Amino acid sequence: MRVRPLVIALIALITVFMIGTVIIAVTQESIGWGWWWAVPLGGAFMAVIVGFRLVIQRSQEAADRADAEYDAQHPGDAP
């Protein structure tokens, strides 16, 4: 499994989220938002992190299944 693209995607997502959070926090009075914006934004952030974790877990399980199938079909090819 190639981890580098996933790590880059996660870092980019966190960076965009944090920059957006700072922009909203700085301009919340001028755009008429109070403190309430933090709750749904925090919930969305947690949902994205959990979703990312589930994608990684499913990918790892699929890779493990593929390895097990290959090992079952080719028993003499063990490294």
**pLDDT tens, 9-20?**
888 988 988 898
Whole-number Å distance between alpha carbons of 44 and 39: 9
> Average pLDDT of 42-57?
86
Q: Is residue 42 part of a domain?
A: yes
CB atoms within 10 A of CB 10: 15
Number of domains in the chain: 1
Q: Is residue 79 part of a domain?
A: no
CB-based contacts of 13-19 (< 8 A; 24+ apart in sequence)? 13/48, 13/52, 17/45, 17/48
Domain holding 37, by residue range, is 4-73
Q: Is residue 28 part of a domain?
A: yes
0.75 exceeded by the pTM? no
Phi, psi of 78 (to 5 degrees): -65, 140
> Average pLDDT of 36-49?
84
Q: Is residue 60 part of a domain?
A: yes
Q: Is residue 78 part of a domain?
A: no
